[in-house]
Structure 1
């Protein structure tokens, strides 16, 4: 046993000794093999120079020498440079890259010179080609993803022949940037000629291109990028359908409703060209053919909405966009029937402002229902002006959206989300009002006084227009100010618009309201002036009542003045005969062939009866004229009373002779007749006699007496009146021109002792003045009741004739 253990230990020690000797030998061998100087690579610049890099090796070199030897048939040319670094550039004296160069690096040190391995190869392998020039970039018809690129190069600086390029000895890369993008893309391309195609692009997109080259493989460095050049790809058919939405109007009387179709212009990367027109097609589920497409019949490329009438049942509308290369897929929208039950809206909607011009919304889909998508609508809430509806259509997996389109700070937006249920159409909407950032109101509400009591006042106000709120109203502050008291302020919640201020002492108050949002309190609105208590009564009594009375007096004055003006315009003043020239007219005329007939009422005092000439023919002819009180000659001064005039007037008065009648007083009942023709009136019919009675009367106190009075019967009066009317007509017919006669007048008595005369005279008074004048145009009528004539003594109703 012990022998076995001793042998094992010896074996272990022998193994350890061998391992140590092997390690020591390997270390000693490594130190004895030095690192050699190695050339890494070179870059030849055509017609210019060559730059090479190397590793130093183990030699402690003082400096290095680069040696480039150009191999020629007749004689070799050597180009060199020295440096203390690990790279050096040596000129090649305008040599091209088609020649072979042998290159080596020599390390100079104290111990001696060490040279790297010499490498001989064509300069093109490591030559850097000169940049090329792009001449054109054109679209390729029928290939909207391709561009055709043309380029040229400097022959002296580009050591490749065209046939070498065609063999593929040229490696190339292209760098392009799409219009509107910032980052450029670099792709390897195959260039087999001075014109080549690149099919890496999107249709109808403008690109800026650059190109670079190298000879063969990785050993050759890339040239510099060429000059940039811009080009656009050809059009293609739109790759996607436009986003389509609708607004449903109310049902009209004809059972149809107005539908507004809304769509968004296709993005550039989807349109693949310039959209030339849109096409709308609608179909009713019941197979009804639509003939009226409204404004959707012919759509211009810049149009994004149209309207058309559709029946009340379920309908569908599709929209396509077309370019010069083709038509897009159809965008379809379903419009549910008016009698169908609307599917449910999303379960929940929240909004979070992200800044001044963006807001993020989230929602949850309706539970246990499969939806085909969602539509988000948002519109600025305004009262004074209209706003534009913005919307976004999303797929069924979307539950959030960041809104940035048409959003401004301090403006309220109504955001709603609807779920789409395929052919069932859109469901109900859930709506939320949000602000991206709130501000203070720019105006306050105007106060209205609803009711005032002894110690309280009830106020109401309308909300401030939403354009001036700039935020959600948190509260209102009602402020009361008066002269004798401190200002009083009451804060009420923002949802109230009516409040009653109580326990108010008598006085005059100015009440105004301020609205407050989370950002602060706005200015006050128009105040209300309120009077409470005794001061209110005194104000009413001292100010309002006098003002009302003055207003009433002014109105009455205006009415009276207006009535005077109306009366002056409509009712002309009746002329006064006493102020006329006729009243003072007293021509001198002869008394020949003129007769005076006078009638006066019998005075109460008696007169001595005077018997004059009794001429039945004269009495019968002239009595009706006296009864009618026709006065045709006011110039009594020219009326002589002589015995030669057949004794018509005798014994007129005791103090006044019959020859002087110019100063005799004439009563209103006195009638003078100016006979126009010289013939006496017609005699009475045979057998008729005037009933002439003689009465004695006592002499009156003034000394005036009456004589020769005749009294007639009623039948005689009637006949005499008929003769009077005939006489007037004969005067009109026989004397059409009275221009040479003195002015005349007619005055009818108010009452006679004949009933028939009274009735006839009453009928004549009711006639218009112009109608009587038309019957007797030769007579001028004038009311003598207001003329300055003297009235004689009162005479009774018995009628007399003085002769």
Structure 2
């Protein structure tokens, strides 16, 4: 037999009012107060003795779907919330009996929990420029920004302190002052000696532990410890980077840096970056990546305070056809032969890795040919052609060919047209030689006819009749 007090099954009226206030010094807590209506069937003593069951319903911008939670509202302070978060709350109650009914929900109360001191320790890195003539170096401090919701209810700021190791010399903090949540880098000037810098993240409730980094002296150089770096595109916005390194006990981590090849200044001062521990040899990078854009990706080993020179590779997350074709020019030519040269497509217009070239050839009688050229070539010799030739060159990537480059028109002499000229020249020379010979012989014959040969008297028979002495005397006289 079931015995039930009728009042235990009755539906209680809704609370007269329901108020929510933040609890000072407790960022995860709210103080909840409610008041029973005047005609409430339970006395305050019975309420305090636990005659009621309570249910709380709350939602927030991060949790828009309302959640129901059984709580004991005899305890005003409830610590089930997130810091620095706006909540909408309402409550209801019923008799502490299985057959009782819930009262209507109270009016909605809204308030925010207090801010919590930052617990996020920023990841810190740096880039260092070469020293100038005065021995000063420009350093860029880089850090990973925290989640924006940490600044919803209170301002968040960063502060930088730097000092020279073992010296009282000042460090020029440059623009590393008045840094807000949106800042992720700043620039300062340090001397050639090692320096230590600390980055603090703070809000009105307190500060997070400092992130520190040491700037090595300009004479300290890290040892090369990386063996290979490989990259695999995962989709249009992410890249898998994998590397192998020699086993050095001094390695304390690795840093992956990347930047667009079109922005060389970013590569030197403010690259995208990611830092991992010494036991990690693979990471996926996504920040700033876009399809068809070339990136320099560098992996460096960190040895305490010093980073190694690292290995740098060219990468694309997705390749496309080149935007332009190479420009041809004539390097040399002879009969039926022309040597063509070209410069590589500018890196920012390649949109991928060049796999081959196609040379488009059109003769003056509109005969066309397509010739394949290997990707590493910058010169091609075209043989067996003559007359007016029209030439263009295409570059290919894994995504296909790009447009042809500018048209080059060149006239090439035929070797067969040169031979008759040579033969006719030889014939002329031979004919001229024969003519000269004939003329010389003719002149000799004319000379013989006009100027006959006069005999020498000394050779005449008359000389035998003369007295030799007289002849000798006459010769002397």
Shared fold per TM-score greater than 0.5 = yes
Does residue 363 of structure 2 align to residue 488 of structure 1? no
Q: Which residue of 2 aligns with 1:32?
A: none
Aligned residues: CA RMSD: 3.3
* Cα contact 2:292–2:316 (8 A) shared by 1: yes
Q: Distance in 1 between matches of 2:108 and 2:56?
A: 11
Q: 1:167 aligns with which of 41, 49, 62?
A: 49
Does residue 273 of structure 2 align to residue 391 of structure 1? yes
Q: Which residue of 2 aligns with 1:147?
A: 30
* Cα contact 2:9–2:100 (8 A) shared by 1: yes
Distance 1:179 1:454, change over 3 A: same
Cα shift readout 1:556-608 (whole Å, capped 9, x = no counterpart): xxxxxxxxxxxxxxxxxxxxxxxxxxxxxxxxxxxxxxxxxxxxxxxxxxxxx
Cα shift readout 1:627-654 (whole Å, capped 9, x = no counterpart): xxxxxxxxxxxxxxxxxxxxxxxxxxxx
Distance 1:251 1:146, change over 3 A: same
Q: Distance in 2 between matches of 1:212 and 1:373?
A: 54
Q: 1:322 aligns with which of 187, 191, 202?
A: 202
- 1:171: how far off? 2.3
Q: Which residue of 2 aligns with 1:410?
A: 292
Q: Distance in 1 between matches of 2:307 and 2:135?
A: 21
Distance 1:411 1:269, change over 3 A: same
- 1:133: how far off? 8.1
- Aligned pairs (5 A) from 1:562-581: none
- 1:186: how far off? 4.9
* Cα contact 1:345–1:417 (8 A) shared by 2: no
Q: Distance in 1 between matches of 2:67 and 2:150?
A: 21
- 1:332: how far off? 1.0
Q: Distance in 1 between matches of 2:248 and 2:104?
A: 63
- 1:127: how far off? 4.8
Q: Distance in 2 between matches of 1:150 and 1:370?
A: 59
Residue ranges of structure 1 left out of the alignment (5+ in a row): 1-117, 538-803
Distance 1:491 1:144, change over 3 A: same
- 1:208: how far off? 3.9
Cα shift readout 1:662-701 (whole Å, capped 9, x = no counterpart): xxxxxxxxxxxxxxxxxxxxxxxxxxxxxxxxxxxxxxxx
- Aligned pairs (5 A) from 1:116-195: 118-127=1-10, 129=12, 135-151=18-34, 159-181=41-63, 186-192=68-74
Q: Which residue of 2 aligns with 1:421?
A: 303
- Aligned pairs (5 A) from 1:646-661: none
- 1:244: how far off? 1.5
Matched residue SS, 2:383? coil
Q: Which residue of 1 aligns with 2:469?
A: none
Distance 1:230 1:411, change over 3 A: farther
Q: Distance in 2 between matches of 1:264 and 1:311?
A: 25
Matched residue SS, 2:46? helix
Distance 1:480 1:302, change over 3 A: same
- 1:131: how far off? 5.8
- Aligned pairs (5 A) from 1:95-114: none
Q: Distance in 2 between matches of 1:135 and 1:302?
A: 38
Matched residue SS, 1:468? helix
- Aligned pairs (5 A) from 1:674-753: none
Does residue 126 of structure 2 align to residue 246 of structure 1? yes
Distance 1:170 1:425, change over 3 A: farther
TM score, norm. by length of structure 1 = 0.47
Distance 1:151 1:331, change over 3 A: same
Cα shift readout 1:249-284 (whole Å, capped 9, x = no counterpart): 111111121101112222257679634432111122
Cα shift readout 1:323-371 (whole Å, capped 9, x = no counterpart): 1111221111122222223144455433332222223333446424254
Distance 1:175 1:246, change over 3 A: farther
Q: Distance in 1 between matches of 2:26 and 2:96?
A: 30
Q: Distance in 1 between matches of 2:404 and 2:262?
A: 21
* Cα contact 2:259–2:266 (8 A) shared by 1: no
- 1:442: how far off? 2.5
Q: Greater CA radius of gyration, 1 or 2?
A: 1
Q: 1:512 aligns with which of 348, 367, 392?
A: 392
Distance 1:410 1:305, change over 3 A: same
Q: Distance in 2 between matches of 1:492 and 1:504?
A: 17
Distance 1:122 1:217, change over 3 A: closer
* Cα contact 1:238–1:273 (8 A) shared by 2: no
* Cα contact 1:258–1:309 (8 A) shared by 2: yes
Distance 1:227 1:461, change over 3 A: farther
Q: Distance in 2 between matches of 1:435 and 1:227?
A: 57
Q: Distance in 1 between matches of 2:227 and 2:109?
A: 54
Q: Which residue of 2 aligns with 1:200?
A: 80
Q: 1:350 aligns with which of 213, 216, 230?
A: 230
- 1:405: how far off? 2.3
Matched residue SS, 1:165? helix
Matched residue SS, 2:319? coil
Q: 2:336 aligns with which of 452, 455, 467?
A: 455
- 1:153: how far off? 6.2
- 1:221: how far off? 5.7
Distance 1:515 1:197, change over 3 A: same
| Count of residues in correspondence between the two structures | 414
* Cα contact 1:135–1:152 (8 A) shared by 2: yes
Matched residue SS, 1:354? strand
- Aligned pairs (5 A) from 1:74-89: none
Q: 2:380 aligns with which of 495, 500, 504?
A: 500
Distance 1:191 1:426, change over 3 A: same
Does residue 259 of structure 2 align to residue 376 of structure 1? no
More strand per residue: 2
